[in-house]
Amino acid sequence: MIKDLPIEIWDDILQNSPPKVLRSLRLVSRRFSEISVKHLYREICLNDSITSIRYVAFLRTNTRAAHAVQRLKIDYKWFCTVDDSQVLIPRLISRTISHLPCLRHLIIYPHILFCLISKKPGLLLLGSIYCSQLESFRTSFRPCDTWSFATKHATTLQHLVWVNLSHIDSSAAFGTATFPNLVSFEGSEEITQLFLSSATVPKLRQVTMLLQRLPCAADGLRLSYKRYKGNYGLVEEISLRLPKLASLNIDGTPAFLNHSVVDLSRFTKLRHFQWCMPYLCDVRYSQGTIEVLQSQLHEVGLLGARCPTLKSCKLREPFAWVQICPGVWIPNASQRAGSVIFDWLRNGLLLRNLPELPNLLSHLDGYARSMPVAADVLSVYKAAAHLPISDPSRRISTLDLLSLGHELGIWCTPDFVERLV
């Protein structure tokens, strides 16, 4: 337990430990029997050289604490001296990790001075470190260091976030590697291309592609800016190499606004697709909610028509779309944002018994329980759906449909309309 530490180490820890560790130690000093070292040191964050040096010394003498650490974050974005960044950071990273045999999650972000660090060979020290249980690795290291470290842990890695902040040398040789258990990958446009062309990933189910991700003093990681040209070739490459991908997120402004739609037809299990600029609302939003939804529905509908498995889609803030049955999409940002549900029934079209109709009725039932106004209309709709097509009562009044549409905000694409008579 902590109470068995030598007094000199105890003094060093109390005076120089990071805030999270310091709070934990004070708590232990009051209740030795109730709080274990394993619980206290499960997650550690180091953010400056002095406390990190003392913490490494603490780990060297307290093996119980070292074996307890499962998640380590090393964040040196506030370093202000070049010497520290070039010498201390690589050495501290390697020494700290070498004392954590049970480490599962590693996050390393030397943000602001990354460019200076990347010119030095010090980070190659990671090549000699091995974490037998490492499951996730998140870093902004230069490509050669990250690739070397990741491939060394290829058999255990399940999640890899590779945010490169400098230009990749196209002449660099990265070789090939197999990541048998990797299920998710996140990286910049260049990194994603590099990774897909160099790695074999049989279990990969999620790819997040960042078209732009720069160091930012405001939040330490992200600085978004507009980019109007999308890389269709990369999406096509992903679909060819990963046809069973379940989720694809692209951080950037889509280039196919009302012109052409990226081809998702090669994906056989894609359920979620996102290509939008975070925190940047649709420029047409000021025109009114209805106009924006009508425009987005056209693009979302085309994507859904080319990819039958697609269940959710987001192209621009603030709306994300959910498909409750083929051709029927709901903007999940606002239940009441829609204008007219089934407005294509104004001419008195008849409803057929569609295979997906129960899903639609089930969805409407959920709204009806909280919206008495829609309940009566829904009962008429459900009754008409089970009548023979020749029955005149199957025809639903236009006014009832308009009323239900204003309440529910459900949107139907033309391909759904064509299956109704």
Residues 144, 123 contacting (CB under 8 angstroms): no
Q: Highest mean pLDDT range out of 54-68, 211-225, 325-339?
A: 54-68
Average pLDDT over residues 311-340: 65
Please determine, for residue 246, whether its predicted confidence score (pLDDT) is greater than 80.
yes
Percentage of residues of the chain with pLDDT beyond 90: 4
Sign of CA dihedral 285, 290, 296, 298: negative
Q: How confident is the model at residue 322 (pLDDT cuts 50, 70, 90)?
A: confident
Average pLDDT over residues 100-125: 61
Please determine, for residue 53, whether its predicted confidence score (pLDDT) is greater than 70.
yes
CA count, 13 A, side-chain hemisphere, 3: 10
> Cα separation of 390 and 306, whole Å?
34
Average pLDDT over residues 197-215: 74
Q: What pLDDT score was predicted for residue 159?
A: 93
> Cα separation of 336 and 338, whole Å?
6
Percentage of residues of the chain with pLDDT beyond 70: 43
Q: What pLDDT score was predicted for residue 167?
A: 59
Q: Highest mean pLDDT range out of 51-65, 202-216, 340-354, 371-385?
A: 51-65
Q: What pLDDT score was predicted for residue 42?
A: 76
Q: What pLDDT score was predicted for residue 182?
A: 93
Hey, what long-range contacts does 394-398 have (CB within 8 A, 24 or more apart)? 394/350, 394/351, 395/348, 395/350, 396/345, 396/351, 398/345, 398/346, 398/348
Q: How confident is the model at residue 325 (pLDDT cuts 50, 70, 90)?
A: low
Q: What pLDDT score was predicted for residue 223?
A: 27
Q: What pLDDT score was predicted for residue 228?
A: 36
Please determine, for residue 371, whether its predicted confidence score (pLDDT) is greater than 60.
no
pLDDT in tens, 152-192: 889 999 999 887 655 566 555 577 899 999 998 888 777 88
> Cα separation of 148 and 126, whole Å?
8
> Cα separation of 395 and 124, whole Å?
73
Buried b (16+ CB within 10 A) or exposed e, 27-62: ebeeeeeebebeebbeebebbbbebbbbbbebbeeb
204 against 365, higher pLDDT: 204
**Distances in whole angstroms, Cα of residue 177 to Cα of each of 151, 191, 293:** 6, 15, 44
Mean pLDDT of the chain: 63
pLDDT in tens, 333-370: 443 333 334 433 333 333 443 444 445 555 555 555 55
Residue listed under structure tokens 């910049």:
188
Please determine, for residue 205, whether its predicted confidence score (pLDDT) is greater than 80.
yes
User: Where are any strands of DSSP class E within 9-164?
Assistant: 43-46, 71-75, 105-109, 136-139, 159-162
Tokens of 235: 């999406």
Q: What pLDDT score was predicted for residue 353?
A: 39
